């Protein structure tokens, strides 16, 4: 019997910023709203299903604009057992949050955006991450 495999290549056409912050997600979202003049709103948790009936529930805040979609994602999953430490991106488990920005304009300056994020109170560290190099990059497709 011949086995066919479907290989799909996704386009990771977004800016991914990894953040370290020791505050609750709603407080970080509030500071991001003020700094970037956006309106991050808490949405339903994102569910990512894996084999063996395991699922991740990731806290998700979204801000929609005419030319962009901004998401604040918590790296550590909600409602996990003590034995099973689940992360959205396990290879970056030392980061608390991710900002995912899908932008449709050509005039967007990534460096200015990153500097604005770094100036937010309670953000200890922020860095841009290339999603193409991540092993678990498929977790960012929803």
Q: How far is CA 22 from CA 4, 10, 19, 53, 128, in A?
A: 46, 32, 10, 31, 19
Distance CA 42, CA 63 (A): 9
Please, are residues 45 and 59 in contact by the beta-carbon 8 Å criterion?
yes
- Determine, yes or no, domain membership for 38: yes
**Strand 46-49 with 68-74, pairing:** unpaired
CATH number of residue 63's parent domain: 3.30.310
Which of 90-110 are b and which e, b meaning 16 or more Cβ less than 10 Å from the residue's Cβ?
Answer: eebeebbbbbbbebeeeeeee
Please, are residues 28 and 21 in contact by the beta-carbon 8 Å criterion?
yes
Distance CA 26, CA 59 (A): 10
- Determine, yes or no, domain membership for 34: yes
Whether pLDDT at 30 is above 80: yes
Least confident stretch, 34-38, 47-51, 61-65, 132-136: 47-51
Q: How many CA atoms within 13 Å lie on the side-chain side of 21?
A: 28
Distance CA 101, CA 4 (A): 35
Q: What is the C-alpha end-to-end distance of the chain, expressed in Å?
A: 33
Distance CA 61, CA 73 (A): 7
State the sign of the Cα–Cα–Cα–Cα dihedral 131, 134, 135, 140.
negative
- Determine, yes or no, domain membership for 69: yes
Instruction: Give the total number of structural domains in the chain.
Output: 1
- Determine, yes or no, domain membership for 6: no
Least confident stretch, 18-32, 80-94, 96-110: 80-94
- Determine, yes or no, domain membership for 4: no
- Determine, yes or no, domain membership for 52: yes
Least confident stretch, 19-23, 32-36, 81-85, 117-121: 81-85
- Determine, yes or no, domain membership for 111: yes
- Determine, yes or no, domain membership for 3: no
Domain that holds residue 44: 15-140
Query: Residue range 115-126: average pLDDT?
Result: 90
Is the whole-model pTM more than 0.75?
yes
């Amino acid at each position: 019997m011949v086995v066919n495999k479907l290989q799909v290549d996704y386009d990771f056409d977004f800016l991914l910023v990894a953040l370290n912050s020791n505050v609750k997600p709603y407080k970080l979202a509030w500071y991001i709203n003020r700094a970037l003049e956006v309106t991050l709103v808490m949405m339903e948790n994102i569910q990512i299903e894996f084999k063996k009936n395991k699922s991740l529930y990731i806290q998700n805040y979204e801000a929609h604009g005419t030319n962009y979609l901004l998401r604040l994602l918590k790296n550590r999953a909600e409602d996990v057992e003590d034995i099973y430490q689940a992360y959205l991106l396990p290879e970056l488990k030392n980061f608390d949050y991710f900002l995912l920005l899908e932008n449709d304009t050509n005039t967007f300056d990534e460096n200015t955006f990153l500097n604005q994020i770094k100036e937010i109170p309670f953000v200890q560290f922020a860095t841009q991450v290339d999603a193409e190099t991540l092993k678990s990059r498929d977790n960012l497709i929803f």
